[in-house]
Amino acid sequence: MRRDIVHIGSDQLSYEIRGIVEIAERIESLGQDIYWENVGDPINKGQKIPTWMKEIVKSKIDDDYSWGYCPTKGLKETREFLANRANKKSSSKLTPDDILFFNGLGDAISKVYGLLKRESRIIGPSPAYPTHSSAEGAHSGYEQVTYKLDPKNNWIPDLEDIRNKIKYNDSIVGILIINPDNPTGMVYPKEILEEIVKLAKEFNLFIISDEIYGDLTFNNRRAISMSELIKDVPTIIMKGISKELPWPGSRCGWIEIYNKNIDSNFKRYIKSIIDSKMLEVCSTTLPQASIPELLSSNKYDEFLKERTKEVEKRANYIYETLKDVKGIIVNKVYGAFYYSIVFEEGVLNNKQKLNINNPKIKSLIEERVKGVSNDRRFVYYLLGSTGICVVPLTSFSSNLEGFRMTLLEKDFEKFKWIVNTLKSTIINYLNSNII
């Protein structure tokens, strides 16, 4: 092949949450047990699916229609169910026709950015969940324009930063917010969301609000949906069942489109998303068929409460264990199931290291840390010396050095061991070479 055939945006594709698995597996093959704290998959971490849920899904399998294609937008009854559910709170009415199903929210994300004009940019948070930042970057060929989430201010979006970037960059057509947030675990206060709506209105932007963790909150916080505040601002709300149900293997997510008729350009853009879905015929039928019964069961609320209580216990354990450790910033968290720990500026350098007893693992890590960012260096040493597998924060479109771990380990004794090992490892690492 003599001509360059690669899309200009391909350099923007990166998903370290799974990328780190390759090195972790090599270390595992050299005899080290691995503690997987990288991927947010509750099933992988031992979450048992209750029998009542399985019975509902089995009954749908018995219905032959669940084996067929469904309408492009998704099963009508399910969209009616979801629209009714959303309308209990929303400030602007949603009809079943304003809902569009995808094969997982990841699929929705790539379509939503992919169908924007190349010059049209969506400003998103930093740190950022990489599926968003990569898809946005891939569509435009440049890194996503980002606004800061401030670890010294409870991970709250820096509104001044958003305003300045929007004001001086007229290619920005929309703002992305993820609430509750991945990777920070923060749930935003109403005033901040209201300010984002005001900015969208002032600068004629549309809003994308990823609410896939919307019902997974704790420490007495509720996640306020953007639908409650937007009034007449064109908005796409993203939801799914991968995290809350949890059924990530169903590959089922959807978008709710608000105020599409208010702006003719937004309306055309939405039409293009629906048309592109039509080319694929439709999304997975079985999970859609199961959603109304699953989500309306009174056992579902109980189940969610139980799960969020467990996540709350683990989150608060991290906070209590690490909050006084010198050199790191640790915030209390309120939603989703992740924790991001940030190293204070300047405490990391490229000389620090940890003891690794196994000589083969030691030489593998020493090879891998050459030339990498300082937080990745820490993450690799942590992996080599303890087997704990986390993700460097700089791989979430961020300049902040740190790491993200999950809050999904079911065995609390094991979880405590992981957190306490992290604590001693951070202290040892920071003291290993002070320059």
Binding site for ligand PLP (CB under 6 A): 40, 104-106, 129, 131, 178, 182, 210, 212, 240, 242, 248, 253
Choice between 104 and 234, CB closer to ligand PLP: 104
Choice between 9 and 40, CB closer to ligand PLP: 40
Choice between 212 and 361, CB closer to ligand PLP: 212
Choice between 178 and 223, CB closer to ligand PLP: 178
What's the closest the beta carbon of residue 132 comes to ligand PLP, in angstroms? Answer: 7
Report yes or no: 192 and 156 within 8 Å, Cβ to Cβ: yes
What's the closest the beta carbon of residue 72 comes to ligand PLP, in angstroms? Answer: 18
Q: How many CB atoms lie within 10 A of CB 76?
A: 14
What's the closest the beta carbon of residue 107 comes to ligand PLP, in angstroms? Answer: 7
What are the helix (H) ranges across 173-248?
190-202
What's the closest the beta carbon of residue 239 comes to ligand PLP, in angstroms? Answer: 9
Choice between 251 and 376, CB closer to ligand PLP: 251
What's the closest the beta carbon of residue 129 comes to ligand PLP, in angstroms? Answer: 4
Residue of 341, 317, 367 whose CA lies nearest to 426? 341
Dist. CA 197–CA 243, nearest whole Å: 26
Dist. CA 277–CA 130, nearest whole Å: 23
What's the closest the beta carbon of residue 318 comes to ligand PLP, in angstroms? Answer: 19
Report yes or no: 207 and 201 within 8 Å, Cβ to Cβ: no
> What residue type is assigned to position 356 of the chain?
I
What's the closest the beta carbon of residue 15 comes to ligand PLP, in angstroms? Answer: 10
What's the closest the beta carbon of residue 26 comes to ligand PLP, in angstroms? Answer: 24
Query: Beta strand 328-329 with 338-343: parallel, antiparallel or unpaired?
Result: antiparallel
What's the closest the beta carbon of residue 261 comes to ligand PLP, in angstroms? Answer: 27
Choice between 178 and 330, CB closer to ligand PLP: 178
Choice between 230 and 252, CB closer to ligand PLP: 252
427 burial via Cβ count (<10 Å: 0-12, 13-18, 19+) = middle
Report yes or no: 102 and 287 within 8 Å, Cβ to Cβ: no
- Strand ranges inside 103-258, DSSP E: 121-126, 146-150, 156-157, 172-178, 206-210, 235-240, 253-258
120 burial via Cβ count (<10 Å: 0-12, 13-18, 19+) = middle
Report yes or no: 173 and 121 within 8 Å, Cβ to Cβ: yes
Choice between 241 and 369, CB closer to ligand PLP: 241
Choice between 140 and 182, CB closer to ligand PLP: 182
Dist. CA 363–CA 356, nearest whole Å: 9
9 to 23, 104, 134, 256: CA distances (angstroms): 26, 22, 9, 27
Q: Identify the helix (H) or strand (E) that includes residue 392.
A: strand 391-392
Dist. CA 327–CA 23, nearest whole Å: 27
